[in-house]
Amino acid sequence: MRKLQTHDDYLTEALRDPKEAALYLNAAAEEEDPALLLVALAQVAKAHGITKMAKRTSLTRMGVYKSLSKHGNPGLKTLIKLLTASGLQLTFKPKTLAA
């Protein structure tokens, strides 16, 4: 009998791919909710392994957890380090405004 994959397992596996992670984070960013974006970023970091992310970013493991916690507020420097460690980069595009 085939073992079923949970949604969390699927998401973790998918977010290891930088292309999928970028799509996921962009979708979260489009909601314009900083808390949702923080949750999405935390899921990407967990997919890559918090300990590995800490080593790649030269932050402590607890520092990564604290930055990505519900009450976390990572600075721009930390955000860029976390994105880079996940194989992503921060980019900007013009927002389409409703007429």
pLDDT at 96: 80
Q: What is the pLDDT of residue 99?
A: 64
Res 94: pLDDT? 87
What confidence score (pLDDT) does residue 89 get?
94
Mean pLDDT for 58-63 is: 95
Average pLDDT over residues 60-84: 94
Q: Is 83 helix (H, G, I), strand (E, B) or coil?
A: helix
Residue owning tokens 């970091």: 45
Residue 92 has pLDDT above 90, yes or no: no
- Count Cα neighbours of 60 within 13 Å in the Cβ-side half-sphere: 3
Rounded to 10 degrees, the C-alpha dihedral 2/45/73/97 comes to: -80
pTM: 0.87
Whether the CB-CB separation of 89 and 95 falls below 8 Å is answered with no
Report, as an integer, the average pLDDT of 35-52.
96
